[in-house]
């Protein structure tokens, strides 16, 4: 579990939080120590000032016994030292003890305010002393008050509480991180479980989409969009197999029947008409196979060599190859050049012309022109046209309108889908535009830079 994303995130969060909280703890410890020392120093200072005032006013001191009166709010350790460092008076806690700061008296210092650790005391103390000009013990004596600094136990009492609080906070952070990340990954686990059971559920199944916003919702929506595309691809594949099997079965069955009939005929039978019919079936089989191969290359985006192609020259060449059918008129602007594979563009134009020949009543018109940075080639016929609601359907693979099936029952329904996919490969488009009569196919391709600047 610790090696999962959830575990690693929890460990990293806890470690980072621990470092931050430890830094805060250290700062609090330093602040607590400074605060405690300041409190002790102020207490010693107030005590020394009060004792000095009492001595100056000759109150609170028994000069005979050398006792100093120490109140409950005073520093407990009080001494009066002569200029020679002799204790001339002391509070009860310091009676019989050596001088607190005899070394400082030798330096004739007027004020003492420092930390000290005398050997005869168990703890370090903060000492505050001030020298008096006159006193019952003569001039130059020093009143010193000392208060014990907090021991390690007292100093670390607050940090100990903070350590316990730190442990509690880290436990809470670890639980919250583990729980929150686990909750965040619940939709991911559901998506994973749904995807793992996809074989049993089928491609029409969709994963649940959590309405939480952010990356998890986007992930679920992307997975569903991918499943939808896979389902569409699978449906297209099934339709392709069904339609291709149907289209291939008819000419194959015709070939078999004709061959069987030819074998059963007597030796003098005129076999040429039957062979011609079989040849037509073979040609149709060849057309279907070529269309399927082209679709396969287009689906896999198999690269083909490209070169500048003059659309006007391409139209003239393709129109010149066609014989019979409706007459074809052309209006060709010279110098309209695109970057593409000429064989594929020839296939596009050939498919469009074949479609126009099937539906034209009396004429076909092909135009080539510039439109901004695009080359535009249009193929128009004067047939019955294509209803607006069916204009996209004709670009679906194996889709055939009822009129097409009547006019050309041998068609495969692959010509227009192939033409559109070739146009899109070269960054263009193929669509059906409005026309007063008949169908108007509009092919747009980007001009080459040289052609676009003319």
**Residue 260 sits in a domain of what CATH number?**
1.10.287.130
What is the extent of the structural domain holding 66? 5-155
Q: At how many degrees (to 10) do helices 342-359 and 311-321 cross? A: 50
Handedness of CA 246, 252, 254, 257 (dihedral sign): negative
Identify the pLDDT of residue 447. 92
Share the mean pLDDT of the chain: 79
Domain shared by 359 and 446, yes or no = yes
Provide the CATH number for the domain around residue 122. 3.30.450.20
CA distance 102 to 95: 16
Could you give the 3-state DSSP secondary structure of residue 358?
helix
Please check whether residues 257 and 369 belong to one and the same domain.
no
Q: Are strands 328-332 and 364-371 parallel, antiparallel or unpaired?
A: parallel
Q: Determine the pLDDT at residue 153.
A: 46
Q: Are residues 25 and 150 located together in one domain of the fold?
A: yes
In a domain, 393, yes or no: yes
Give CA–CA dist 225/116, Å, rounded: 78
Position 384 scores a pLDDT of: 84
- Over range 133-139, report the average pLDDT: 85
Q: What percent of the chain clears pLDDT 70, i.e. is strictly above it?
A: 77
Q: Quick check: 2 pLDDT over 60?
A: no
**Is residue 260 a part of any domain in this protein?**
yes
Decide if pLDDT at 257 tops 90. Answer: no
Residue 261 shares a structural domain with residue 371: no
pLDDT of residue 183 exceeding 70, the answer is yes
Domain end: 299, 334, 349, which one? 299
287 and 326 part of one domain: no
How far, in Å, are 72, 77, 86, 125, 182 from residue 129 at the CA level? 19, 12, 15, 13, 64
Global model pTM greater than 0.95? no
Q: Which of 184-188, 341-345, 435-439 has the lowest mean pLDDT?
A: 184-188
User: Of 229-243, 282-296, 318-332, which one has max mean pLDDT?
Assistant: 318-332
Residue found by looking up tokens 């009066």 in the block: 80
Q: 372 in a domain, yes or no?
A: yes
Averaged pLDDT, 295-314: 80
- Give residue-wise pLDDT tens across range 353-398: 988 888 888 889 999 999 988 999 999 998 888 888 888 888 887 6
Q: Are residues 342 and 419 in the same domain?
A: yes
Q: Which tens digit of pLDDT belongs to each residue from 40-87?
A: 889 989 988 888 888 888 755 554 456 777 777 788 889 888 888 888
Which has the closest alpha carbon to 310: 375, 228, 240? 375
Residue 364 lies in a domain: yes
Any domain includes 108: yes
Same structural domain for residues 329 and 292? no
Maximum CA pair distance of the chain?
A: 165
Alpha carbon separation from 48 to 41, 52, 84, 103 (Å, rounded)? 11, 6, 19, 18
Same-domain check for residues 341 and 365:
yes
Is 274 within the bounds of a domain?
Answer: yes
The reply to whether 51 and 115 lie within a common domain is: yes
| 61 shares its domain with 90 | yes
**Do 435 and 399 fall into the same domain?**
yes
Last residue of a domain, one of 280, 299, 318: 299
Q: Do 341 and 243 belong together in one domain?
A: no
Asked if 10 and 174 touch (Cβ cutoff 8 Å), the reply is yes
Q: How far is CA 287 from CA 160, 166, 185, 408, 428, in A?
A: 89, 79, 53, 14, 25
For the stretch 79-135, pLDDT in tens is 888 888 888 888 888 888 888 877 766 667 788 888 888 888 888 889 999 988 888
Crossing angle of helices 157-196 and 5-56, in 10° steps, is 170
Contact 413, 353 (CB under 8 A): no
The total number of structural domains in the chain stands at 3
Pick from 155, 189, 206: which residue ends a domain? 155
């Amino acid at each position: 579990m610790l090696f999962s994303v959830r575990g690693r995130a929890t460990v990293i969060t806890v470690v980072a939080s621990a470092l931050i909280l430890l830094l805060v703890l250290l700062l609090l410890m330093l602040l607590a120590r400074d605060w405690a020392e300041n409190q002790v120093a102020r207490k010693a200072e107030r005590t020394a000032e009060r004792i000095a005032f009492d001595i100056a006013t000759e109150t609170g001191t028994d000069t005979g016994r050398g006792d100093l009166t120490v109140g409950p709010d005073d520093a407990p350790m009080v001494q009066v030292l002569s200029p020679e460092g002799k204790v001339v008076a002391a509070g009860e806690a310091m009676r019989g003890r050596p001088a607190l700061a005899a070394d400082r008296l030798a330096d004739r210092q007027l004020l003492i305010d420092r930390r000290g650790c005398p050997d005869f005391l168990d703890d370090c103390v903060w000492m505050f002393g001030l020298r008096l000009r006159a006193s019952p013990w003569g001039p130059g004596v020093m009143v010193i008050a000392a208060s014990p600094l907090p021991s390690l136990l007292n100093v670390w009492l607050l940090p100990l509480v903070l350590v316990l609080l730190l442990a509690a906070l880290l436990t809470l952070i670890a639980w919250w991180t583990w729980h929150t990340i686990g909750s965040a990954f619940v939709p991911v686990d559901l998506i994973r479980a749904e995807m793992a059971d996809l074989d049993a559920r089928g491609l029409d199944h969709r994963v649940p989409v959590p309405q939480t916003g952010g990356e998890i919702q986007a992930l679920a929506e992307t997975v569903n969009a991918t499943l939808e595309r896979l389902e569409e691809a699978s449906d297209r594949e099934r339709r392709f197999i069904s339609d291709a099997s149907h289209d291939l079965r008819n000419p194959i069955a015709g070939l078999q029947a004709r061959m069987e009939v030819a074998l059963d005929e007597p030796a003098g039978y005129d076999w040429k008409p039957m062979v011609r019919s079989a040849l037509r079936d073979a040609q149709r089989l060849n057309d279907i196979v070529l269309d399927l191969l082209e679709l396969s290359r287009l689906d896999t985006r198999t690269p083909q060599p490209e070169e500048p192609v003059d659309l006007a020259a391409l139209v003239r060449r393709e129109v010149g190859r066609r014989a019979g059918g409706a007459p074809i008129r052309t209006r060709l602007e010279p110098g309209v050049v695109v970057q593409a594979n000429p064989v594929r563009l020839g296939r596009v134009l050939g498919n469009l012309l074949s479609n126009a020949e099937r539906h034209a009543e009396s004429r076909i018109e092909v135009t080539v022109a510039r439109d901004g940075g695009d080359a535009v080639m249009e193929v128009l016929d004067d047939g019955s046209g294509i209803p607006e609601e069916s204009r996209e359907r004709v670009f679906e693979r194996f889709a055939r309108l009822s009129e097409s099936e009547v006019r050309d029952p041998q068609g495969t329904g692959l010509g227009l889908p192939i033409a559109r996919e070739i146009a899109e490969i070269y960054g263009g488009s193929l669509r059906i535009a409005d026309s007063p009569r008949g169908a108007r196919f509009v092919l747009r391709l980007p001009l080459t830079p040289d052609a676009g600047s003319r």
